[in-house]
């Protein structure tokens, strides 16, 4: 089977695939499939995101990448989700995600991806979009930021100015924080939430006074 037929097989798929899946679908040997995929990557049609795992660039949704890269459940959170919900104006320097798999970072044609392992009791609080992207809700995105910051990750040292969206629930955020199994980190996150709530209240009061 030639490279055009292999590409047609890829186009008919979901947009993400493994080398072995394409080899099996086309009846081509794995070595020949590897060469064909490398050529397609060189032409800018597909990209390798990890060993044996590829994406079709024209079909790939950027925020689907963390889960595909992780090879385990994952959802976008922290800076990425906060920006998605309009809570911060700063554009994240990478796609940040939580996973039950191992922490890792990777460079992709869509930008850098940073996967951070979180405790299983905390792996919740995301919403799945129509395109399959999993994104933390506003409360969980904020809690995850503080949780990872409490672990000493340098990318979570300070939070840009936060705009709390309508319908945001501080009580819901505290419930998520209550799921943190490590007592010290749970306490640290609860304190961060309290300080953030107070800061937002002061900002809202100042804004009202200026109107």
Alpha-carbon distance of 165 to 116, in angstroms, equals 25
| Residues pairing with 98 in the sheet | 75, 116
Number of H helices, E strands in the chain: 8, 9
Structure-token pair, residue 45? 């049609």
**Tell me, what's the pLDDT at 127?**
92
Residue that has been written with the tokens 């959170």 in this structure:
77
pTM recorded for the entire structure: 0.85
pLDDT tens digits for the chain (211 residues)? 689 999 999 999 988 999 999 999 999 999 999 999 999 999 999 999 888 999 999 888 889 999 988 888 999 999 999 999 999 998 888 999 999 999 999 988 888 999 999 999 999 999 999 888 999 999 999 999 999 999 888 889 888 789 999 999 999 999 999 999 999 999 999 999 999 999 888 766 666 555 5
């Amino acid at each position: 089977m030639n490279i055009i037929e292999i590409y047609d097989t890829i186009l008919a798929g979901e947009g993400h695939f493994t080398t072995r899946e394409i080899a099996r679908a086309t009846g081509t040997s794995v070595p020949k499939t590897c060469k064909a995929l490398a050529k397609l990557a060189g032409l800018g049609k597909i990209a390798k995101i990890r060993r044996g795992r590829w994406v079709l660039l024209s079909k790939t949704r950027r925020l689907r990448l963390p889960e595909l890269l992780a090879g385990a459940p994952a959802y976008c959170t922290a800076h990425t989700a906060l920006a998605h919900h309009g809570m911060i104006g700063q554009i994240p320097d990478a796609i940040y995600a939580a996973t039950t798999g191992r922490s890792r970072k990777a460079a992709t044609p869509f930008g850098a991806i940073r996967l951070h392992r979180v405790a299983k009791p905390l792996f919740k609080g995301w919403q799945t979009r129509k395109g399959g992207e999993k994104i933390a809700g506003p409360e969980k995105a904020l809690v995850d930021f503080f949780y990872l910051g409490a672990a000493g990750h340098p990318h979570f040292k300070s939070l840009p100015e936060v705009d709390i969206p309508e319908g945001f629930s501080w009580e819901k955020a505290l419930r998520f924080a209550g799921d943190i199994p490590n007592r010290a980190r749970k306490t640290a996150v609860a304190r961060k939430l309290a300080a953030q709530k107070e800061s937002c209240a002061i900002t809202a009061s100042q804004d009202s006074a200026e109107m």
